[in-house]
Amino acid sequence: MKNFQRIDEIDIQLARHVALDDELKTLKAHIREVEKQQYPNVKLIDFEHPERNRFLAINQFRIDTPGATKGFIIPDIVLFVNGLPLVLVECKEANEFTSNPMFDTFQQLMRYSDQREETKLSGLREGEPRLFFTNQLLIRTSGEQADIGTITSTDEEFFFPWKDTGRSRHRWE
């Protein structure tokens, strides 16, 4: 992933594809210090033994965006597995300032991923696409409503309702 640090303009979907195919499965390291093994394959996520992974959720995760229209972005919740940002959750509540919170969360996700068409056409940058190179899921929520999508969900129609498979007795009252 360090190769992406040097590229100013890169297609976010291409970068995500490369990151997932090449790095989430295995990564070649230069040397394994303990065993002195050269060029070992390193699993960034242990799918066979999930308990060996480290899971972290960060609320209000601030990311500086030098050169963008705003100096930073603050996603509501970012979920990490072994330091890789895999899920981004954006939450809004309906109030006197927000008439359509689900649309507002969609706009916010597009801004964070630097995918708003009007911004691209004006030659500006708003977000931090590198946050989404390993992203697997986008969640937008307001109250009891939640939708899920991916980085390729660049239109609201590609977000789908979160289906609750639990019985009502499992819900929070």
pLDDT, mean over the chain: 78
Q: Are 65 and 73 in contact (CB under 8 A)?
A: yes
pLDDT above 70 covers a percentage of the chain that reads 72
Task: Identify the residue whose tokens are 């499992």.
Answer: 170
Would the pLDDT of 170 be above 70?
Answer: no
The amino acid occupying position 140 is: R
For residue 112, which of 63, 161, 162, 148 has the smallest C-alpha distance?
Answer: 63
Q: For residue 20, what is the DSSP state?
A: I
Q: What is the reported pLDDT for 3?
A: 44
pLDDT (tens digit, 9 = 90+) per residue, 4-19?
444 444 455 555 555 5
- Cα–Cα distance, 140 to 161 (Å, whole number): 10
pTM over 0.85: no
pLDDT (tens digit, 9 = 90+) per residue, 86-135?
999 999 988 888 888 999 999 889 888 888 888 888 888 888 888 888 88
Q: What is the reported pLDDT for 9?
A: 43
Which parts of the chain fold into alpha helices (H)? 12-19, 101-112, 117-121
Cα of 100 vs its chain's centroid, Å: 22
pLDDT (tens digit, 9 = 90+) per residue, 25-71?
555 555 556 666 666 677 788 888 899 999 999 999 998 888 788 88
Instruction: Return the structure tokens found at 75.
Output: 């996603």
